[in-house]
Amino acid sequence: MSGRHGVTSKARKPATKKSSGKQAASGRKAATKKSAAGRAAKKQAAKKQAAKKRAAKKQAKKAAAKAASQRRVFFFGGGRADGHAGMKEILGGKGANLAEMTALGIPVPPGFTISTDVCAEFNRRGQKLPVALKADVLTALANVERLMDLRFGDPERPLLVSIRSGARASMPGMMDTVLNLGLNDETVVGLAKMADERFAFDSYRRFIQMYGDVVLDVPHDRFEQRLDAEKEARGVQDDTELTAADLRHVVADYLEIVRELTHEPFPQDPQKQLWGAISSVFGSWENQRAIAYRRINDIPDEWGTAVNVQSMVFGNMGDNCATGVAFTRNPSTGERNFYGEYLKNAQGEDVVAGIRTPQPINDESRAAGTMKQSTLEAEMPKAYRELVRIYKRLEKHYRDMQDIEFTIQDGRLWMLQTRNGKRTTGAAVRIAVDMARERLITREQAIMRIDANSLDHLLHPTIDRTRAPAVVARGLPASPGAACGEVVFSAETAESRAKGGAKVILVRIETSPEDIVGMNASEGILTARGGMTSHAAVVARGMGKCCVAGCGVLSINYEEGLMRIGEHLVREGDVMTIDGSSGEVMLGRAPTVLPELGESFSELMKWTDKVRKLKVRTNADTPQDARVARDFGAEGIGLCRTEHMFFEPDRILAMRQMILATDLRSREEALEKLLPMQRSDFEGIFRAMDGLPVTVRLLDPPLHEFLPQAEDDIQAVADSLGRSVGDVRRSLETLHEFNPMLGHRGCRVGITYPEIYAMQVRAISEAAVRVAAEGVKVKPEIMIPLVSHEHELRDLRRLAEEVIAEVRREAKGSRVRPIIGTMIEVPRAALTADRIALHADFFSFGTNDLTQMGYALSRDDAGNFLPHYVDGGLIDADPFVSIDTEGIGQLVRLGAERGRAAQPGLKLGVCGEHGGDPASVRFFAEIGLDYVSCSPYRVPLARLAAAQAAIEASTKADE
């Protein structure tokens, strides 16, 4: 058959079922491929569009910020506001939220905010307001007058204002406030005509008192004494019982007090009052309590405060008026109950200052066991219903628990403030989890809501502050929790008393590893010396014991068994309470409250584990520590210190015999005694950590720490060795070092006495083999400490591998094979990490010693002067508490990068105290470490901080 162009074509065979199936499948595959490509293209286009939108939004935000920075005064009122909630940097928290509520249509008294930039300018100009501010303020004030239909300074219909501070971070009560500003001898008469005489003169006496205290530096007590005298003279308890005539007398005397102490009459010009109050509130940013609060809460000094000038509304005009404070959820428990207090016929400071006992706003707010009281819900149902509607709207809008302030004037509700409410850690966890379940926030946002450091308060016993005795001294809050017990001055006494059933507080000038048994037996530890990472602090945190360190006012006399704390004399056996969360020391017994973690905490921890990439191990030396840590979610042991095991009474003698042995044979005999003890320790730990890695650090401290000091101990060692006391003393002298922490310790002991490390490696390996035979999944890791040169690790690794091979042969082919790594804790090791990595399966950064050596600081002595560095602003934080990211952190980064460059699969971790510090954990996550290790009670903190670091990294990547 001819083709169209004369080309012969073969007849086409009919398609078989198999070939048509293939063609259909091929078509489906192509269609799927095309569809996937289409989806990918759409996804890519959507991504580009989202990126464009983000860029445009960012640009608009930048432009708005630039425009806002050029303004000094921001008005709010009548449903219109110049600012919004996102402008806290410029308007402060109070001003930003007043603007936001106004824009939402919530009833807010009109006013204006003077920006934080003016505060900065005020301070730069030697506490003088800029001249150009006056016109802006007067323009805004005129707008307030228009909305309120009142005039500032008008003797007939006076406008009164409040002057309040408002930093971007909440600083309750730290700065100053002036209420009822604008009153004078004339306007008080006009106010009396608008309302009633008693209310007018009550407001005037309040204003004179506040203005006198805040602006004129008249002691607050002088006014209070006069008011108390008037109440006593009239035979009344509360100021609400004073009549208008009584209050006239009080006002006259208040004015005279001001004249007497300032030698000037009280200012009658409202304009002068206004500028005096604005200057004073700006100036209160630099008062001592505000400075101290900023230091405690890490609020930067340069932030400054805004000043809010707002029309007064009155809760003290009569029985249909009230003022109150409420929380949209319970701030103590986190329960979803509207919770608050109010006072009828009062102003806001009456509630806050505790001048009168407030009443609950509803039945849910009533404290358990208290008498039934009248509630706002019952007394003013209409205002209460509106308050409920507004609080629900605010919580939904801000998506967080709100702390709100309100005033009811003549039955009308006004909102004076909303802010994210302060809450206990337990409440914070519950609120975050509940809000995520309610879909107000995401799980990631719930995780970010919790301050990781605050979890400490959940994990340790706390003092019941309602029944606590007076504080007699303060030290460093070295290990959180609370403890109460009899004072003892030695580890031996602590152990014996504890065995007899007593609860004891071990009080020492400073602790050493020799005190480990007594520390373990104690409820808490108190030391006169030492810092946050001193021996006492580190060991106490590992044990979950409460510890107050560096309490310098203690004068301890071991021989007489007594201690002086100022005027107090404390003898052994006296009862004492210490709070490791605050560093407070109390004489007498204070009841403690055990923490209840609850279901919300468990749920939050599950969410963190799904998000984080950084693993969290624990520092644990006993099976009990290991079990506690595992319950807290530890994923292995990152540091098991073997030296603590040798201080047990039945072991220390053999350890001393080994150290003081004069020949190899005697040393090996002593080590033979120690071998089964060490093996038993490791067996217990391996069982407790079934399926999880356990990193065991070989002997690290200087040998002199194990040597006897007391006469009886020296005699016991001499008898056991068959030597004279004098001979043993000479041996002790030869082991003395001038700087032992930089001397014969760590791997240097293993190099000079390889039999010591060989015994420890054998104990680890034999324990692993035995426990594996029981069906336990064992993952042993041997860590060689204080390596500074690659040849040290090379030779000690060879020694360890020989012992491991020998144990495996003896066990007839056991498959257990510990991996071998090192601690990077010497600066030279970090710098030469590429060479050291050739002999290591893992690195664990010992940031305690790395900080000591990098800073040339003794962590046990730095507590005497480091606080001055932090307080004086020389450094941001104690480098032993939070990693110095610019210095020591760069050694860690460098060591990690060079180690992995030489050996890509190298496992990297941290086992210093920084492993439990949230800020440090974030840094370690950022530089790509595999895990951190910390004390058992800090494991949840590290888990949360690791999750927060992962969320922050993901957010940055999306941007």
Structural contact between residues 179 and 210, judged by C-beta atoms closer than 8 angstroms = yes
Separation between Cα atoms, residue 305 and residue 94, nearest integer Å: 10
Separation between Cα atoms, residue 332 and residue 96, nearest integer Å: 26
Q: What was the pLDDT predicted at 13? A: 46
Q: Over the stretch 656-687, which tens digit does the pLDDT of each residue have?
A: 888 888 888 888 988 999 999 999 999 999 99
Question: pLDDT-based confidence at 839, cuts 50/70/90?
Answer: very high
Cα dist from 665 to 145, 435, 657, 671, 755, whole Å = 98, 68, 12, 10, 10
Q: Is the pLDDT of residue 5 over 60?
A: no
Question: % helix / strand / coil in the chain, to the nearest 5?
Answer: 50, 15, 30
Q: At what angle do helices 270-283 and 197-214 cross, to 10 degrees?
A: 50
Q: Over the stretch 894-921, which tens digit does the pLDDT of each residue have?
A: 999 999 999 999 999 999 789 999 999 9
Do the bridges between strand 402-409 and strand 412-420 make them parallel or antiparallel, or are there none, so unpaired? antiparallel
Q: Over the stretch 790-813, which tens digit does the pLDDT of each residue have?
A: 999 999 999 999 999 999 999 987
Q: What was the pLDDT predicted at 38? A: 72
Mean pLDDT calculated for residue range 608-614: 96
Separation between Cα atoms, residue 828 and residue 849, nearest integer Å: 12
Tell me which amino acid residue 172 is: P
584-587, strands of its sheet edge to edge:
471-474, 584-587, 575-579, 482-488, 504-508, 524-527, 546-549, 476-479
Phi, psi at residue 37, to the nearest 5°?
-65, -40
Separation between Cα atoms, residue 701 and residue 699, nearest integer Å: 6
Torsion of CA 500, 504, 507, 513, to 10 degrees: 60
Separation between Cα atoms, residue 936 and residue 542, nearest integer Å: 6
Using DSSP's 3-state secondary structure scheme, residue 345 falls into coil
pTM of the model as a whole = 0.77
Separation between Cα atoms, residue 529 and residue 531, nearest integer Å: 7
Tell me which residues are annotated as active site: 535, 911
Q: What was the pLDDT predicted at 532? A: 61
- Give the lowest-confidence range in 40-44, 229-233, 579-583, 851-855: 40-44
Q: Over the stretch 255-286, which tens digit does the pLDDT of each residue have?
A: 999 999 999 999 999 999 999 999 999 999 99
Structural contact between residues 100 and 80, judged by C-beta atoms closer than 8 angstroms = no
Question: pLDDT-based confidence at 534, cuts 50/70/90?
Answer: low
**Considering the chain, what is the average pLDDT of its residues?**
88
Tell me which amino acid residue 58 is: K
Q: What was the pLDDT predicted at 175? A: 87
